[in-house]
A and B are shown apart, each in its own frame.
Chain A
Amino acid sequence: MKYKAKPLPPVELPDLRVVGKPLRRVDALGKAVGSTVYAGDFSMPNMLHGKVFRSSQPSARIKRLDVSKARELPGVICVLTAKDLPDAKLVTDMPGQTGQKRRAGTDAPVLASEVIRYRGEPIALVAAETLDIAEQALERIEIEYDTLPGVYDPLEAMKPGAPVVYEPDNIVATWKIRKGDVQAGMAMADMIIENTFSVPFVDHAYLEPEAGMAWMDDQNVIHIRVCTQVVEHFRSIARALGVPQNKIHIQGTFLGGGFGGKEDITVEIFLALLAKYTHRPVRLAYSREESIMAHSKRHPFIITHHTGVKRNGRITAAEIEMISDAGAYPYLSPYVLLYATVTACGPYRVEHLKVDSTSVATNNPFTSAFRGFGAAQACVAYEQQMDEIAKALDMDPLDVRRANYLSTGDRNATGQQMKSAVWLEETATRALETLGEKTSECGPIKVGQGFASYMQSYGRITWFHDTSRAWVGLELDGTAVIRCGVPDLGGGQVNTLCQIASEVLGVPLENFIIYSTDSALTPLAGTTTATRQLYMSGSAVHQAASEIRRVLLEYAQLHFEQDIENLELADGKVYVKSDPENFLPLAELTKMCAAEGLPLSNLALFKAPFTDPIDPETGQGDIFPDFTFGAHAVEVAVDTETGEITLLKSVGCHDVGRAINPIAVEGQIQGGSTQGLGYALMEEVQVVEGVIQTPSLSEYLIPTSRDLPTTKAIILESGTGLGPFGAKGIGEPSLTPAAPAVANALTNALGVRIKDLPLTPEKVLAAIEEAKNA
């Protein structure tokens, strides 16, 4: 066999009882039997139904808006337009932190007042006694537009004279990295390799479209049940509504997937407004079509690499340009661009590096967070570029990477030192070894293998000064409660917290109840984004549970007259290690501690490392708490007559630091890679002149079970992560390398490269033809 797994450095992981075990998740049963309650499942007596009136134009001025006929319709309780909420904006930037060029005027209005910047932009809200009446009310809203010239291509939008989405120009954000001396580095090169890659708009396509309900109570607090990745949006909702922050209460639910699409505010702001104006409970749920129209998309990027290389494969310098389409409003574009910029050259040692990146406003659907958050787009480019370098040098793709892979102690593009394990070769060689021999080719069917390595941060940008909180408490019968504001997107976030606390306290997993994702009743844990919850909230829970453990053991020490080191908490008891028959059930121990007035609960605050922002001129400085490293490898069969690609094998290998629950980790690797493979093969929100051509899931295609083999997940544990028990993060990383692996495998099969995702049959045929003619 061509590739052999590189031996792992010695690792000593502590022996744990609960953590690291493939236990049944605390949320599994509800999902299996259908008893889990999602945001769309709620109703209340006296409830109204909300609807959103949206723009049919991508670029226009509202000439006339008349909602009087809708208001007159019997059963319509309220119709709101921008006039009713002067100046209400959706603020997504933390001032001065994300690199957004101009704050004023560029945040999306809650409802458009004069100018329409994208098709589907909300213009009015309706609440009515029935859904049917609400829908009829939409039809009675009269609107006339003066269409304005729009701009639908980021390259066009950067040209002088292009229509301006908002003044003074279309530049939403820029970042740069200046490291070493690129000219000198290029001069040292034996060869300079240049390529431009591009990626399309992508939809999150979660199972659960946005939904929720809101009502007002006797203290005038507005309660909102909603599926969101960010309960902290209650603050911007309060600002938009002009009410104090303590009068908005978000009760999050389990999510049927988020992937970044529920990171920005969705229905909750509309619900809050309608509840405030009607003083009645209101429900609002998007259809799939409205969901696709209303929420953000993954940024299309155009990425150009110029790489200087030595004949031995060593990179001497890299110059990289990135352009992303921000769509009609900035949302998180500046920050997505930053992630892309920082990982532009991949997990490689590049001493001389220059990166220039720009995010550009257009009248396309707005773009924002999507699992991988810019770093995934960057990986599509840098990993294809690595294979192109290998080809130009006639080297093995693994050897080229080996010559450049970062190691522990090296510095990344921003000069941050890599402190945890950097198992790039370890993961790549395992993925490749597991892929095995190439399947034999037959007639017009060609077979190729390819892989990609990556680095992806976990935890937020360190100058955001990120924190999380969690509360852990024991009951007198030995059961336990966790309160932690983390939204569970389906990734197993709440289970992980329970498993961590179970390990620390010796309370069996089934004896935990967790309250989560509630802005008033659970301590705020921050967003479920940026692959941060295991690291941040897992650490907060670990901290809180450890404090209770200390109290229990100190009391037990007196009770058993034993050293603390000789005591253990496990399986619902405290016992003497050298004499396990000598034990007390936790129920007894907690009662005794309670009788002594000892604290059996703890609220912990966990802080990520805090740093100053990177230098705006050079992009140098520490930027993330840490990174996850890994690789994905695939084998594809290509029908050279039809252009169809069949994935034959798929392997993801990642160093997750420590797998708290290996089944959940495997689930992340399989789910994430599925999204990445779909990105490569078929997913594209097609947009023509600002109009989405793939408005539902019959046009917007995602992989089905027939399209993919089961991804084999290889979980490595270096134990060096910053999270609890040495865990890193796997939520986003699992996706990042999958798409470029497919692109590389396709090139391996055909000898030609398609530099623009997705790799559709027609593009494949065109590439084959072009190669024939060349």
Chain B
Amino acid sequence: MPEFDLLMPQTLPEALEMLGDRAPDLTPLAGGTNVIVYMREDRHRYKMLMDLTRLNELHGVRREDGHLVLGSATTIAELLTDPLIAEHGALLRQAAAVFASPLVRNRATVGGNLVDASPAADTAPPLLVMNAEVELASQKGVRRVPMDEFMVGVNETLRQPEELLVSIRWPLPATRSAGGFSKIGLRKGAVCSVVSAAVMVEKDEDGLCQSARIALGAVATRPIRAYAAEEILVGQPLKPQIIDLAGQLSAETVKPIDDIRGSADYRRRMVEVLVRRLLSRAAQEIVPRE
């Protein structure tokens, strides 16, 4: 492994200053579960790394103005134990439960997962269907970007080199809503998604679908929403026929590739199965109001 310099800022302003001065030669390092792997594979050579683990500003989960706000350095393991996540981020928790292995989960962060921007990033589909936004900060200021715009391609995001991802926020899920996350891999633990999907649906007082969001991983150059499928659900009762149709439309939306993990055809077919299953389960989960 090549040698590199490591900066260890203690506060967010200090970190942003370092980044402002040295970007793009300075790369943020959170859990390192992507960065160190890339370095060992010689896929990237980093001149300088900046350790983020000491920045308190990037840690913690809190409620704020009807939103849940998650520090970008929250680890995947923390998602599994945090009570606020259990209550307001069940989907993210489901993704965390099938994310990598316990060892990796202890290090890997949500921020790292999003900035790495793998098409298969497992926290992305849940955050997409929860309508999340990411907050980016630099010396110049702070901006928010909707999840659906943040990732633009394989390992590409809207983040500028001098920016840090500070937090991720989403509106607290509505009462008559439910959703789920599911992934298919070639084994059951420590595995990259061949296909992943998340859905979130909300029913109105009459039990009709008020809103629906569907997100899919590992089937395009970035995690994507299946808007066409979402649209046909709105205003409809969530019955098998329409759910099947949403599954088919989702499968038509995707542009998967063949690789050693699976064929494009298999991925497309699995999108249909996962979306159908997740929608049926979510539809049943929403309890009618007493």
- Are B189 and A762 neighbours in the complex by a CB distance under 8 Å? no
- Are A682 and B188 neighbours in the complex by a CB distance under 8 Å? no
Q: Binding site of A, secondary structure by majority: helix, strand, loop or mixed?
A: loop
Against B, the Cβ 8 Å flags (1 = close, 0 = not) of A735-765 are 0000000000000000000000000111001
Chain A stretch 626-648: residues in CB contact (< 8 A) with chain B: 641-644, 646
What residues on B are CB-neighbors of A642 within 8 Å?
184, 270, 273
A707: contacting residue among B188, B262, B263, B266, CB under 8 A: B188
Q: Does any Cβ of A come within 8 Å of B192's Cβ?
A: yes
The verdict on A693 contacting B187 (CB below 8 Å), with A642-B270, A642-B273, A765-B269 known, is: no
Select from chain A the residue with minimum beta-carbon distance to B42.
A135
Q: Does any Cβ of A come within 8 Å of B11's Cβ?
A: no
Select from chain A the residue with minimum beta-carbon distance to B102.
A705
> A687 → chain B, closest Cβ, in Å?
11
What residues on B are CB-neighbors of A681 within 8 Å?
187
* C-alpha spacing A682/B262, complex, angstroms: 13
Identify which of A111-119, A208-216, A592-600, A694-702 touches chain B.
A694-702
- Are A699 and B266 neighbours in the complex by a CB distance under 8 Å? no
What residues on A are CB-neighbors of B189 within 8 Å?
704-707
> B122 → chain A, closest Cβ, in Å?
15
* C-alpha spacing A698/B190, complex, angstroms: 9
Q: Does any Cβ of A come within 8 Å of B101's Cβ?
A: yes
Chain A stretch 669-694: residues in CB contact (< 8 A) with chain B: 681-682, 686, 693-694
Select from chain A the residue with minimum beta-carbon distance to B194.
A761
The verdict on A761 contacting B186 (CB below 8 Å), with A641-B273, A698-B192 known, is: yes
Against A, the Cβ 8 Å flags (1 = close, 0 = not) of B173-214 are 000000000001011111110000000000000000000000
The verdict on A761 contacting B188 (CB below 8 Å), with A686-B260, A693-B260, A694-B260 known, is: no
Interface size band for A: 20 to 34
What residues on B are CB-neighbors of A703 within 8 Å?
187
* C-alpha spacing A27/B225, complex, angstroms: 54
Against A, the Cβ 8 Å flags (1 = close, 0 = not) of B239-273 are 00000000000000000000010110010011001
Against B, the Cβ 8 Å flags (1 = close, 0 = not) of A285-326 are 001000000000000000000000000000000000000000
- Are B186 and A706 neighbours in the complex by a CB distance under 8 Å? no
Q: Does any Cβ of A come within 8 Å of B3's Cβ?
A: yes
What residues on A are CB-neighbors of B263 within 8 Å?
762
Select from chain B the residue with minimum beta-carbon distance to A289.
B41
Against A, the Cβ 8 Å flags (1 = close, 0 = not) of B48-80 are 000000000000000000000000000000000
Q: Does any Cβ of B come within 8 Å of A579's Cβ?
A: no
Select from chain B the residue with minimum beta-carbon distance to A693.
B260
* C-alpha spacing A642/B270, complex, angstroms: 6
Q: Does any Cβ of B come within 8 Å of A132's Cβ?
A: yes
> B193 → chain A, closest Cβ, in Å?
13
> B214 → chain A, closest Cβ, in Å?
18
* C-alpha spacing A704/B189, complex, angstroms: 6
A701: contacting residue among B2, B101, B184, B191, CB under 8 A: B191
> B121 → chain A, closest Cβ, in Å?
15
What residues on A are CB-neighbors of B270 within 8 Å?
642
- Are B187 and A701 neighbours in the complex by a CB distance under 8 Å? yes
What residues on A are CB-neighbors of B101 within 8 Å?
704
A644: contacting residue among B3, B40, B184, CB under 8 A: B184
- Are B184 and A761 neighbours in the complex by a CB distance under 8 Å? yes
What residues on A are CB-neighbors of B40 within 8 Å?
287
- Are B184 and A704 neighbours in the complex by a CB distance under 8 Å? no
Q: Most chain-B Cβ atoms within 10 A of its Cβ — which of A646, A681, A694, A762?
A: A762
> A100 → chain B, closest Cβ, in Å?
34
What residues on B are CB-neighbors of A132 within 8 Å?
2-3
> A258 → chain B, closest Cβ, in Å?
23
* C-alpha spacing A553/B2, complex, angstroms: 65
* C-alpha spacing A693/B269, complex, angstroms: 24
* C-alpha spacing A644/B186, complex, angstroms: 8
Against B, the Cβ 8 Å flags (1 = close, 0 = not) of A128-165 are 00001000000000000000000000000000000000
What residues on A are CB-neighbors of B260 within 8 Å?
686, 693-694, 699
* C-alpha spacing A703/B190, complex, angstroms: 10
* C-alpha spacing A146/B260, complex, angstroms: 29
* C-alpha spacing A681/B189, complex, angstroms: 14
* C-alpha spacing A332/B188, complex, angstroms: 34
> B32 → chain A, closest Cβ, in Å?
15
* C-alpha spacing A705/B187, complex, angstroms: 10
Against B, the Cβ 8 Å flags (1 = close, 0 = not) of A431-472 are 000000000000000000000000000000000000000000
* C-alpha spacing A132/B3, complex, angstroms: 9
What residues on B are CB-neighbors of A699 within 8 Å?
260
- Are A760 and B192 neighbours in the complex by a CB distance under 8 Å? no
- Are B186 and A760 neighbours in the complex by a CB distance under 8 Å? yes
> B5 → chain A, closest Cβ, in Å?
15
> A183 → chain B, closest Cβ, in Å?
45
What residues on B are CB-neighbors of A694 within 8 Å?
260
- Are A704 and B187 neighbours in the complex by a CB distance under 8 Å? yes
What residues on A are CB-neighbors of B262 within 8 Å?
761-762
* C-alpha spacing A364/B170, complex, angstroms: 52
What residues on A are CB-neighbors of B266 within 8 Å?
643, 761-762, 765
* C-alpha spacing A644/B193, complex, angstroms: 13
The verdict on A682 contacting B184 (CB below 8 Å), with A132-B3, A765-B266 known, is: no
- Are B186 and A704 neighbours in the complex by a CB distance under 8 Å? no
B186: contacting residue among A646, A701, A705, CB under 8 A: A701
- Are B273 and A704 neighbours in the complex by a CB distance under 8 Å? no
> A648 → chain B, closest Cβ, in Å?
13
- Are B188 and A704 neighbours in the complex by a CB distance under 8 Å? yes
What residues on A are CB-neighbors of B184 within 8 Å?
642, 644, 761
* C-alpha spacing A702/B169, complex, angstroms: 37
Select from chain A the residue with minimum beta-carbon distance to B272.
A641
> A770 → chain B, closest Cβ, in Å?
15
Chain B stretch 129-160: residues in CB contact (< 8 A) with chain A: none
Against B, the Cβ 8 Å flags (1 = close, 0 = not) of A80-102 are 00000000000000000000000
Against B, the Cβ 8 Å flags (1 = close, 0 = not) of A698-720 are 11010111110000000000000
What residues on B are CB-neighbors of A701 within 8 Å?
186-187, 191
- Are A707 and B273 neighbours in the complex by a CB distance under 8 Å? no
Q: Most chain-A Cβ atoms within 10 A of its Cβ — which of B2, B186, B192, B260?
A: B186
> A163 → chain B, closest Cβ, in Å?
26
> A772 → chain B, closest Cβ, in Å?
14
* C-alpha spacing A765/B270, complex, angstroms: 11
Select from chain A the residue with minimum beta-carbon distance to B267.
A762
> B230 → chain A, closest Cβ, in Å?
22
> B116 → chain A, closest Cβ, in Å?
14
- Are A706 and B188 neighbours in the complex by a CB distance under 8 Å? yes
* C-alpha spacing A194/B272, complex, angstroms: 38
Chain A stretch 158-188: residues in CB contact (< 8 A) with chain B: none
What residues on A are CB-neighbors of B187 within 8 Å?
681-682, 701, 703-704, 706-707
Select from chain B the residue with minimum beta-carbon distance to A697.
B190
Select from chain B the residue with minimum beta-carbon distance to A287.
B40
> A615 → chain B, closest Cβ, in Å?
45
> B189 → chain A, closest Cβ, in Å?
3
> B166 → chain A, closest Cβ, in Å?
30
* C-alpha spacing A205/B266, complex, angstroms: 28
Against A, the Cβ 8 Å flags (1 = close, 0 = not) of B2-31 are 110000000000000000000000000000
* C-alpha spacing A705/B190, complex, angstroms: 10
* C-alpha spacing A701/B188, complex, angstroms: 11
Chain B stretch 94-130: residues in CB contact (< 8 A) with chain A: 101
* C-alpha spacing A686/B259, complex, angstroms: 12
Nearest 4 A/B pairs, CB to CB:
A706-B189, A704-B189, A706-B188, A641-B273
Beyond known contacts A132-B2, A694-B260, A706-B189: 16 more, CB 8 A cutoff: A132-B3, A682-B186, A698-B192, A701-B186, A701-B187, A703-B187, A704-B188, A704-B191, A707-B188, A761-B184, A761-B186, A761-B266, A762-B262, A762-B263, A762-B266, A765-B269
- The interface of chain B, by Cβ under 8 A from chain A, is 2-3, 40, 101, 184, 186-192, 260, 262-263, 266, 269-270, 273
- 11 residue pairs from A and B, CB less than 8 Å apart: A641-B273, A644-B184, A646-B188, A681-B187, A686-B260, A703-B187, A704-B189, A704-B191, A706-B189, A760-B186, A765-B266
